[in-house]
């Protein structure tokens, strides 16, 4: 009797990486392997904090700034408007939606003031988390977070798959889709081939 295959990985993904034209300039940042991976390996849960906050497309570019007490704020580059509360309202809506789908990991867009993992600019340095990526770390502490660039190099891919396997063990899910995705990704990214 055939055994049931393990369920696909459930990845929450920055919507612009999936080809949606939701960036501030009306563009997207399609990352091919994220779109091409079969549904049997990856279930994609898109989110876009800035779009879902109603900031519009196209929209004024925003940036992170450190406010009083070091608290991060997100400010319009032209208007100087503080959109932090508007974004935080959207985070809660996104969280309610994602919670119903139980994401196992996040793939974020790099360098975004909302989505970056350690690569958003603040005070002249590009080493901060975007506001939503930081919020997500506190909201889903067991979910690995990466940006799309990390999955293009050997060490990043290795660490991501390790974290996925740890998470799957905790959830008592099989590693089948992780193995399949790792093999598949190795055919797409030169660095990933030696990461398995
Ligand atoms: S980086 Fe994040 S906030 Fe910016 S367009 Fe992509 S999903 Fe939306």
Our answer on whether the CB atom of 22 is closer than 6 Å to any ligand 1 atom is yes
If one compares 175 and 136, the residue with the highest pLDDT of the two is: 136
Q: What is the distance in A from the centroid of ligand 1 to the CA of 108?
A: 8
pTM for the whole thing? 0.90
If one compares 178 and 56, the residue with the highest pLDDT of the two is: 56
State mean pLDDT over 5-25. 93
Our answer on whether the CB atom of 45 is closer than 6 Å to any ligand 1 atom is no
Strands of 9-14's sheet, edge to edge? 42-47, 9-14, 105-108, 145-147
pLDDT tens per residue, range 52-98: 999 999 999 999 999 899 999 999 999 999 999 999 999 999 999 99
Domain definitions of the chain by residue range: 9-194
- Residue whose CB lies within 8 A of the most ligand 1 atoms, among 112, 121, 134, for a mutation test: 112
């Amino acid at each position: 009797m055939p055994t049931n295959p393990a369920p696909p990985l459930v990845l929450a993904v920055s919507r612009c990486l999936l080809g949606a034209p939701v960036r501030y300039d009306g563009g997207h940042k399609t990352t091919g392997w994220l779109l091409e991976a079969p549904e049997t390996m990856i279930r994609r849960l898109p989110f876009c904090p800035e779009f879902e906050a109603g900031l519009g497309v196209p929209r004024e570019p925003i940036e992170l700034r450190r406010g009083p007490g070091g608290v991060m704020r997100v400010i319009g580059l032209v208007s100087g408007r503080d959109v932090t509360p508007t974004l935080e309202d959207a985070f809660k809506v996104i969280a309610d939606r994602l919670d119903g789908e139980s994401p196992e990991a996040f793939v974020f867009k790099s360098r975004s003031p909302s989505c970056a993992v350690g690569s958003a600019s603040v005070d002249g340095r590009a080493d901060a988390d975007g506001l939503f990526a930081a919020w997500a770390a506190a909201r889903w502490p067991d979910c690995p977070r990466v940006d799309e660039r990390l999955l293009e190099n050997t060490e990043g891919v290795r660490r991501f798959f390790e974290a996925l396997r740890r998470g799957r063990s905790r959830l008592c899910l099989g590693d089948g889709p992780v193995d399949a995705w790792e093999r598949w990704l190795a055919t797409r990214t030169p660095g990933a081939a030696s990461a398995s």
